[in-house]
Structure 1
């Protein structure tokens, strides 16, 4: 019986050392307050609910959000600092819903998202 436990332990050790742990998807998060913004740039306010997304009070779907943000930003110079985007969570928003939003925002350039903490 002891030798069987030793073999099982060696197999377990072998499989743990030979397996690779890869990340399937990553979402980049920045610390609050990092990065420069222009003093005259007004932030956009985005409310994320379990079923709704509102950008400055206008309700839309998560799929429409990147196009609307692109229209809002318009044509700007490359050296222009990113426009702040404040994200507030409403109700019982799941972590998957927040991740979907951050993935959608990653495809839009020129914005710096800040997620407000729950109070």
Structure 2
């Protein structure tokens, strides 16, 4: 005699495999996205320390958001290296770089790259 009730089926436990797959994919994604660019080192001397005495004429490059000035005289970036060259006796004479008026770091790097490409070896960054 049957009461019309079906026998109870054993309860299925949920599978953790899809969740583990998702966690693994997220882990791989964040590992790949964490190191997307290359780190670059810019060789600059720290200013303000007691070192060797200054020799020669001043070589102060003020870097603004739009303009670059050598010793207070606005100079186009393309002509900056040619303007600094008569003020130095040797390529290892220091050239002082100073960011002004909220100049972006990329602007400072562009100026230092232009001077380094022209052969100036000692670029000193000051506040």
Task: Please give the range of the TM-score, normalised by the shorter of the 2 chains.
Answer: 0.5 to 0.7
After superposition, the C-alpha distances for 1:92-113 in whole angstroms (9 at most, x for unaligned) are 2111111211211221324422
Counterpart residue number, 2:10: none
Aligned to 2:45, what secondary structure does the other structure show? coil
TM-score (norm 2): 0.63
Structure 1 pair 5–32 and aligned structure 2 pair: CA distance change class (3 A): farther
1:10 Cα deviation from its structure 2 partner: 2.0
1:61 Cα deviation from its structure 2 partner: 1.3
Q: Distance in 2 between matches of 1:110 and 1:103?
A: 10
Counterpart residue number, 1:69: 84
Equivalenced residue count is: 110
Counterpart residue number, 2:103: 93
Q: 1:8 pairs with 11, 22, 27, which one?
A: 22
**Mind listing any 5+ residue stretches in structure 1 that lack a counterpart?**
none
Q: What is the CA RMSD across the aligned residues, in angstroms? A: 3.1
The answer to whether the aligner puts 1:84 opposite 2:97 as a matched pair is: no
Greater CA drift, 21-30 or 106-115: 21-30
Structure 1 pair 115–40 and aligned structure 2 pair: CA distance change class (3 A): closer
Counterpart residue number, 2:11: none
Where do 1:32-43 residues align within 5 Å? Answer: 32=47, 37=52, 39-43=54-58
Q: Distance in 1 between matches of 2:52 and 2:118?
A: 17
Q: Distance in 1 between matches of 2:54 and 2:61?
A: 20
Aligned to 1:63, what secondary structure does the other structure show? helix
